[in-house]
C-alpha cells in the first residue's frame, strides 16, 4: 500500500512540475525545464541538431517516439511511457555528444513501449542491450564527425566510453540478478561490484 501511494505521489508531483515548467520546442519536440532553462534548452537543441546532421535515422526515431524531454534536476534519467516523457536529471552539460546519444537510447526504449514490448524479465535485459548498443553506435557517429578532435582523441574517447557502456550493461544485469535472488532469498543483500557506478 505504501509503495502504491509513493508511486502515486511521485506521478502527481512530476505532472505538476511539467505544468509549471518553462517550455520550448525543437522541430516539434517539446522541451521542459524546472530550472536552468536557458542552459538546458540550448544544450538540448544543440544535441538534437547534431543528431539531425550526423545521425539522420536516429533523429527520425527521436522525433517519432521521444516527443517530450523534461529536465528536472533530480532523480534519475528515465523514460516514462505513461507520460511519454524522457525525464532528465542530468543533461551532461560538459559532453554534448554523450547527451545526444542518450536521447537515442531513450527513444529506442520509447519505440519498444510503443510496440507493446514489456520492460521486464529477459526482455528487459535484451532491451537494455539493444538500447545501449544503439547509443554507442550513435555516439561513435557523432564523435567521428567532430572536427575539433584528433583521430587519436576520437579513438581514446570512444574506447573509454566502450568500457563504461560494458560496465553499465554488467551493472544492469547484476542488479536484475540480485533482485531476483533477494526475492527468493531475502537475507541475501550483498552489494554488487557495479552497484555504485555513476558517471
Alpha-carbon separation of residue 91 from 8, 37, 67, 95, 101 (angstroms): 26, 12, 17, 9, 11
Would you state the pLDDT for residue 12? 59
The predicted-structure confidence for 110-132, as pLDDT tens digits, reads as follows 999 999 998 888 888 889 889 99
User: How would you classify the pairing of strands 29-33 and 68-71?
Assistant: parallel
Q: In terms of pLDDT, which residue wins out, 105 or 12? A: 105
The predicted-structure confidence for 29-45, as pLDDT tens digits, reads as follows 999 999 999 999 999 99
Would you state the pLDDT for residue 192? 30
Write down the pTM of the prediction.
0.78
The predicted-structure confidence for 98-110, as pLDDT tens digits, reads as follows 999 999 999 999 9
* Residue 5 pLDDT grade (very low, low, confident, very high; cuts 50, 70, 90): low
Would you state the pLDDT for residue 123? 87
d(Cα 53, Cα 35) in Å, to the nearest integer? 28
The predicted-structure confidence for 139-171, as pLDDT tens digits, reads as follows 999 999 999 999 999 999 999 888 877 777 666
Amino acid at each position: 500500500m505504501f509503495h502504491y501511494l509513493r508511486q502515486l505521489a511521485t506521478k502527481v508531483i512530476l505532472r505538476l512540475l511539467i505544468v509549471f515548467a518553462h517550455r520550448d520546442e525543437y522541430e516539434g519536440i517539446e522541451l521542459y525545464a524546472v530550472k536552468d532553462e536557458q542552459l538546458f534548452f540550448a544544450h538540448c537543441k544543440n544535441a538534437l541538431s547534431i543528431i539531425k546532421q550526423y545521425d539522420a535515422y536516429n533523429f527520425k526515431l527521436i522525433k517519432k517516439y521521444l516527443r517530450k524531454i523534461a529536465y528536472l534536476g533530480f532523480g534519475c534519467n528515465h523514460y516514462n511511457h505513461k507520460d511519454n516523457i524522457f525525464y532528465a536529471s542530468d543533461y551532461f552539460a560538459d559532453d554534448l555528444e554523450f547527451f545526444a546519444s542518450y536521447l537515442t537510447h531513450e527513444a529506442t526504449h520509447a519505440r519498444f513501449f510503443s510496440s507493446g514490448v514489456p520492460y521486464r524479465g529477459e526482455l528487459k535485459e535484451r532491451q537494455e542491450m539493444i538500447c545501449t548498443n544503439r547509443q554507442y553506435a550513435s555516439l561513435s557517429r557523432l564523435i567521428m564527425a567532430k572536427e575539433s578532435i584528433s583521430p587519436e582523441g576520437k579513438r581514446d574517447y570512444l574506447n573509454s566510453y566502450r568500457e563504461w557502456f560494458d560496465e553499465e550493461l554488467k551493472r544492469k544485469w547484476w542488479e536484475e540478478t540480485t533482485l531476483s535472488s533477494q526475492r527468493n532469498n531475502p537475507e541475501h543483500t550483498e552489494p554488487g561490484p557495479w552497484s555504485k557506478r555513476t558517471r
